[in-house]
Amino acid sequence: MGVIDDKYEAMFARSRAWYERGKNAFAGGVTHQSRFNAPYPTYYESASGAFKYDVDGNEIVDYVMGNGSLLLGHSPEDVVAAVTKQMPRGTHLGGATTHETLYAEAVKRNMPKLDTIRFTSAGTESTLLAMRIARGYTGKEKIIKFVDHFHGWQDYATVSSGQSTGGIPQAVLDTVIVVPADVAEVKRVLQARDDVAGVIVESNGAHFGTFPLQNPNFLHDLQDLCAKHDVMFIMDEVITGFRLSKGGAQERWGLEPDITTMAKIMAGGQPGAAVGGKKHVMDVMAFTGDPEHDSTRRVAQAGTYNAQPISAAAGIAQLDAIWNTNAIELADAAALRLKDGINDAFARNEVMGHSHGISSLVQVNMGYDCPCDRELCTMPYEDIYSSMPPEKTRALRRAVLVNGADGMDWNGMCFVVSAAHTDEVVDRTIDGFNQALKDLRTDGVV
């Protein structure tokens, strides 16, 4: 046992008891594969603003933020009011609603390059539908994805995403072509074969930007290449949508994808997601009256909870707040303050490492430094892997957690920053990160 383990056991004793109960309730003991944190996960009961509160009464500065869903922070007033108002008026109306139309209009206002959209309930459903639309529109079968890019847990997205492929038929895996994040590799594949329906990309790089893309050039080159070969350019904006700008990565960098996937921020902390795109592409989902087309060639989609009124109310309130306020700018400023503070902590403690990231996503690598501009990092992929193996990544997250803050981990840590992270909260986090480095040194991790 080291100092970090001692702190963990002391701070989260009641979480251990809840984990023992959870092991008897859940397959694998947790309900989301990222929620496990050795030696056991922390259990939370409530949250407000930039904080969440666990079963032991600890106040933790939250940088998971609903896995990237909560740009405004926990329980923002406008979203809470909208959900509270709608709840007694019906949670599911079993038909077309005014709510879904207003919701779609709010999405399209923020992302004006989308002609039409269809709602789903989660990002995983959105990427599944986007791939189906690409295949249905082009009449081709293969999808290109990039190494380590995560597009949910659906069968076609799982290969080379950091997840196990257990239970997925090989025939499904064979429809996906995995390439490094290199436009030249995509070009090579597209020149060699004519059965590719679409290319899907995490718009800021794999795993919230842990493996950065050199944007905007990368995305523009990819868009041009897809257009040249009549392949659908699919931008996965589940993470970047309504965060990198009001219109996401595509608006920030002037892109026009054929298909866009969205989730997280757009639903205001409720289950909600969407697929949008150019009208002539999205129209493959429309009924035409031709029996043969409608029964065999039309791209089908259902979903009991697509844009149900509670999700719609929350999403509209969140998107209105993003449109009408400086929430993105506040989150970006807080992220810059945090990033600078973390880099200063590395220097003061003489620990090799650095923080980088764009907009309100702050990445932390402990063990590698580079001459990047601290926004779009130029670390080679192999150095990210070698400098932050799973055991080191888990140690960093645990050290940060016992010193008062929680973030996401994947070959390093990601701090998802919101508009609720004030200067005082950020400075508190920096102090905690400074102590985390000291604890890691005491335990011999660095």
* Tens of pLDDT, residues 236-247: 999 999 999 999
- Is the preceding peptide bond at 216 cis, omega within 30 degrees of 0? yes
Residue whose structure tokens are 């893309």: 213
Q: How many helices (H) and strands (E) does the chain have?
A: 19, 17
Give dist(CA 372, CA 84) in Å, integer.
46
Q: Structure pTM?
A: 0.95
Average pLDDT, stretch 18-24? Answer: 88
Categorize the per-residue pLDDT at 290 as very low, low, confident or very high, splitting at 50, 70 and 90: very high
DSSP secondary structure, 378-398, as one string: ---HHHHHHHS-HHHHHHHHH
* Tens of pLDDT, residues 127-163: 999 999 999 999 999 999 999 999 999 999 999 998 8
CA dihedral 141, 144, 148, 149 (to 10 degrees): -90
Q: State how far the alpha carbon of 355 is from the alpha carbons of 169, 211, 335, 415, in Å.
A: 39, 13, 11, 10
Categorize the per-residue pLDDT at 381 as very low, low, confident or very high, splitting at 50, 70 and 90: confident
Average pLDDT, stretch 27-54? Answer: 86
pLDDT, residue 111, reads: 96
On the question of pLDDT at 28 being above 80, the answer is: no
Categorize the per-residue pLDDT at 32 as very low, low, confident or very high, splitting at 50, 70 and 90: confident
On the question of pLDDT at 261 being above 90, the answer is: yes
pLDDT, residue 285, reads: 96
Domains and CATH numbers, the chain: 3-74+326-442 (3.90.1150.10), 77-324 (3.40.640.10)
On the question of pLDDT at 14 being above 90, the answer is: yes
pLDDT exceeding 90 applies to what percent of the chain? 87
* Tens of pLDDT, residues 171-219: 999 999 999 999 999 999 999 999 999 999 999 999 999 999 998 999 9
Average pLDDT, stretch 322-332? Answer: 98
Average pLDDT, stretch 49-63? Answer: 98
Query: 244, 243, 277: which is closest to 260 by C-alpha?
Result: 277
Give dist(CA 264, CA 408) in Å, integer.
15
Please check whether residue 357 is in contact with residue 195, taking contact to mean a CB–CB distance below 8 angstroms.
no
Q: State how far the alpha carbon of 49 is from the alpha carbons of 75, 126, 415, 444, in Å.
A: 7, 28, 15, 35
Helix ranges restricted to H, 325-422: 327-348, 381-387, 390-401
On the question of pLDDT at 375 being above 80, the answer is: yes
In degrees, rounded to 5, the angle at the alpha carbon of residue 424 between the alpha carbons of residues 422 and 430 is: 105
Give dist(CA 54, CA 58) in Å, integer.
6
